[in-house]
Amino acid sequence: MVDSSEVQRGLQDVVALQSRICFIDGVRGRLIYQGYDIRDLAARSTFEEVAYLLWYGRLPNAAQLAELTDRIGALRALPPPLAERVEAMPVDAHPMDILRTAVSALAFFEPEETKPGPSSIGGAQRLTAVLPTILGQFHRRRAGLPPIRERPELSQAAYLLYALLDREPSELEEKAIDVALVLHADHELNASTFAARVTASTLSDLYSAITSAVGTLKGPLHGGANERVVRLLDQIGSTDRVEEVVRGMLDRHERVMGFGHRVYKVEDPRATILRDWSRRIGEAKGDRHYFDLLRRLEEVVHREKGLYPNVDLYSGSIYALLGVPYDLFTPIFAASRVAGWTAHVLEEYEDLRLIRPTAKYVGALDLPYVPVDQRG
């Protein structure tokens, strides 16, 4: 019989598996991908380099990077029957629901890439390549923009912005999105990655694992927080109202999105980098109002609750200033995290062990069985 003190609600602090992919030092505020500090990667690498690093365990040389970049560019087109399905999806659906269903449907057309085992590296690259296309096709239809073209010559960051906005980003905008993609690409056993690994651990296929992950990322306690942060900023409106709104939320025991973390006990290092990018983009656009609101929000939330910002606090302000609609913020997170999800699924297939914890039973035992016609 398990003692109640042994139950770790939410699996907090439980070490569930070994991984070489990502290390979080929650006390010192460090994040490492395959040995490299996120600060170096954000400053000096592109998303494509980081995806290579996550999948293959080492940074690519110039030829390997060019080959991967070409491959991702070449894999962007959707199979026509999938494009038709995306076309038929409801325009008022949340883009995360579109993504979840489209990822699942992609498996019909690519049975080889999705099989558990080494061939699923092809599926990993395929999924990374097509997520922006799925989002772009869906969003352009509802926004009345021209149909998407696959633009193999564009970097993943530039393609994502082109797919969503039908315009090519400036150098600064492309770098801002690329940094955001680098920073979101992996985060150890976060809920969506864990969901993907649980699915893969049953020897289910790659696309099923990523479908599980997309559905898990959607929740407001996980990737859904970035969209809600900007909605809150709009509701607050001006810096002199931050105090009043936050106090009201805390009095009602509501959570302020973009703050707190299960693992970091200090500031999330991704928030530190994105804060600087939020300021830079704000200044470049001549609009610092999100940045000023966020700085004030940080002060008040830290003073009232001792909480630090997480990755979701500043990202939405950058996307909003680039003109991205709010409901596409979490899908941008997915378009990056897919690299990490797939790397974890590949690692799971290499060292497979069914993930199946136990529960402490707190229900009744030995109830006398009453036939249906005698139940009150």
First to last CA, the chain: 33
Q: Which residue in the shown chain puts its C-beta closest to ligand CMC? A: 260
Assess 218 for contact with ligand CMC (CB under 6 A).
Answer: no
Within positions 307 to 346, which residues make up the interface with ligand CMC, using CB under 6 A? 307, 310-312
Burial label, 11 (beta-carbon count in 10 A; 0-12, 13-18, 19+): middle
Q: Smaller CB distance to ligand CMC: residue 101 or 226?
A: 226
Look at the block and give the residue holding tokens 């600064």: 172
Assess 261 for contact with ligand CMC (CB under 6 A).
Answer: yes
Residue choice 39, 85, 222, 288 for contact with ligand CMC (CB under 6 A): 222
Min CB(331)–ligand CMC separation in Å: 13
Active site residue 261: yes
Q: Which of 69, 73, 70 is nearest to 52 (CA)?
A: 69
Within positions 14 to 73, which residues make up the interface with ligand CMC, using CB under 6 A? none
**Active-site position among 222, 289, 292, 302:** 222
Which among 32-40, 42-50, 194-202, 253-261 is the span making contact with ligand CMC, rule CB under 6 A? 253-261
In sequence order, which residues have a C-beta less than 8 Å from that of residue 260 and are 6 or more positions away? 305, 307, 308, 310
Q: Smaller CB distance to ligand CMC: residue 165 or 183?
A: 183
Side chain identity at residue 76, one-letter code: R
**Are the beta carbons of 328 and 99 closer than 8 angstroms?**
no
The dihedral over CA atoms of 300, 303, 306, 307, expressed in degrees to the nearest 10, equals: 10
Assess 7 for contact with ligand CMC (CB under 6 A).
Answer: no
Q: Smaller CB distance to ligand CMC: residue 205 or 268?
A: 268
Residue choice 71, 85, 141, 262 for contact with ligand CMC (CB under 6 A): 262
Provide the token pair at 89: 């999806």
Cα angle for residues 231, 234, 238 (degrees, 5° grid): 145
Q: Smaller CB distance to ligand CMC: residue 156 or 190?
A: 190
Active site residue 13: no
Which among 26-34, 74-82, 164-172, 259-267 is the span making contact with ligand CMC, rule CB under 6 A? 259-267
Side chain identity at residue 106, one-letter code: L
Provide the token pair at 257: 């999105």
d(CA 335, CA 205): 19
Residue choice 121, 305, 326, 352 for contact with ligand CMC (CB under 6 A): 305
Assess 289 for contact with ligand CMC (CB under 6 A).
Answer: no
**Active-site position among 139, 261, 268, 344:** 261
Within positions 154 to 213, which residues make up the interface with ligand CMC, using CB under 6 A? 190
Q: Which of 158, 146, 92, 105 is nearest to 325 (CA)?
A: 92
Q: Smaller CB distance to ligand CMC: residue 139 or 337?
A: 337
Q: What are φ and ψ of residue 244, in 5° steps?
A: -60, -45
Question: Binding residues for ligand CMC, how many (CB under 6 A)?
Answer: 19
3-class DSSP state of 232: helix
Summarize as ranges the residues that interact with ligand CMC (CB under 6 A). 10, 190, 221-223, 225, 255-262, 305, 307, 310-312
Catalytic residues: 222, 261, 312
